Every structure is written in structure tokens, then in C-alpha cells.
Amino acid sequence: MAETEDASLSPSTGTISITLSVNGEAKPLRLDPRVSLLDALRDHLHLTGTKKGCDQGQCGACTVLVNGRRINACLSLAVMHEGDEISTIEGLGSPDALHPMQQAFIDHDGFQCGYCTPGQILSSLAVIEEIKAGLPSHVTADLNAPPPLSDTEIRERMSGNLCRCAAYPNIIAAIQDVAGSAQ
Ligand code: FES
Ligand code: FES
């Protein structure tokens, strides 16, 4: 084999072998290199908790965590994530042992149809970590002080996650509940 050839690439099919780490499990895959992370999760790994709303980075339904940071899985290629730790809603809790954020969404009625909810929940977790880490947002007034856990801050930071059922006030209440009890 020539030195420049990639053993993981199959010239006859144009596919590539990769292993993704999803919710702590190694997932070997053979994919067209143009497959998005969202399609790899949903269509190849059958983890359909991550939703496809717009498929163009506008709705946030496809939000997952990559190494703890939130991304839109529809805007990222699966092959870019070998070696990353990917977290989806399936890895968060179980029906018998819900994650506190999942429980808070139930307690505060933070959803109606539920289509945006996995993305909202994963984004919520990242928002709390971003505020704790002192990362400013567009509405942070004092860049020299830790950002407040205000509704305004949370609303701005969650603005990439749309909800057609308009459960926004209840989503904010759920996040405030978890953020408050986490302090
Ligand atoms: Fe990715 Fe809408 S499906 S942002
Ligand atoms: Fe229906 Fe958000 S709960 S889109």
C-alpha cells in the first residue's frame, strides 16, 4: 500500500471507517465522509432522540454535547469527531432515573410536543456550565464580573433552541430550578 493511502478509506465505495464514542460507548461505523454527525447518530446508530428540525443550523433540535460543549450536529461531519466524547439525550438518564434537568422539564411543564426537548435539555446543561465558567454572552453587561444566572442571560444563551410550542417561560423555570439547586 502506498504511504499516502488511508487504510480506513474504501476507494470502491467511497466510505470511511471511523469509531465514534457516544455516551461512553465505542461505535464503529463505515460512512460516506459527507454524512453529518446528526445523520450518523440517527440513521446509522439509531439514536433518534437527537432530532432533525431544519438540518441547517437554525433550530437547535439537533443539539448534542461534544467534549462537554454544545454543537448543532446537523452542521458537523461525523468523520470530524473521532476521538471526541459525544453525549446525546439517550446517555443522560433513564425512565427510572431521570437526570435532574429531565425531571425539571417535567416538573415545570417545559414542553408540549417534545420535539425540541432533547436539544433544549442538552443546551440547558451546557448553558449552566458556560455561566459557571464565566463565559460572557451578548447580554452580559459587566465583562469583568461573573455572568449572572438571570432569566435574561438564560434566554439569550438558549436563543439558538427554538420551540414551536412556545414553552419558553417553563423552559427558563426548569433551567433556573436546576441552576439554583446546583449552586
Ligand atoms: Fe440542526 Fe435545526 S436540525 S439546527
Ligand atoms: Fe414542541 Fe418545543 S415542545 S417544539
Ligand 1 atom with minimal separation from the 63 CA:
1
Query: What's the burial of 43, exposed, middle or buried (CB within 10 Å: 0-12/13-18/19+)?
Result: middle
Whole-angstrom CA distances from 53 to 47, 50, 88, 144, 147 are 15, 10, 16, 37, 30
Going by C-beta distance under 8 Å and a sequence separation of 6 or more, which residues neighbour residue 132?
A: none
Give residue 2's pLDDT: 47
Give residue 183's pLDDT: 47
Ligand 2 binding pocket mutation candidate from 113, 122, 124, 159 (most atoms within 8 A of CB): 113
Measuring CA to CA, which residue among 88, 93, 120 is closest to residue 23? 88
CA of residue 165 to ligand 2 center, whole Å: 4
Q: Whose CA is nearest to atom 4 of ligand 1?
A: 57
CA of residue 169 to ligand 2 center, whole Å: 12
Give residue 8's pLDDT: 81
Give residue 5's pLDDT: 57
Identity at 128, one-letter amino acid code: I
Between CA 86 and CA 91 the distance in angstroms is 9
Ligand 1 binding pocket mutation candidate from 39, 55, 159 (most atoms within 8 A of CB): 55
Question: Does the C-beta of 105 come closer than 6 Å to ligand 2?
Answer: no
Between CA 133 and CA 166 the distance in angstroms is 29
What is the mean pLDDT, run by run of 10 residues, along the chain of 183 residues? 62 91 98 97 98 98 98 98 97 95 98 98 98 96 93 97 98 96 55
Identity at 14, one-letter amino acid code: G
DSSP structure string for 15-42: EEEEEEEETTEEEEEEE-TT-BHHHIII
Task: Give me the domains of the chain, ranges plus CATH numbers.
Answer: 9-91 (3.10.20.30), 100-182 (1.10.150.120)
Give residue 1's pLDDT: 45
Ligand 1 atom with minimal separation from the 75 CA:
1
Measuring CA to CA, which residue among 109, 124, 100 is closest to residue 170? 109
Ligand 1 neighbours, Cβ below 6 Å, are 52-55, 57-62, 72, 74
Total-model pTM: 0.93
Give residue 67's pLDDT: 98
Give residue 10's pLDDT: 80
CA of residue 121 to ligand 1 center, whole Å: 15
Ligand 2 binding pocket mutation candidate from 165, 170, 171 (most atoms within 8 A of CB): 165
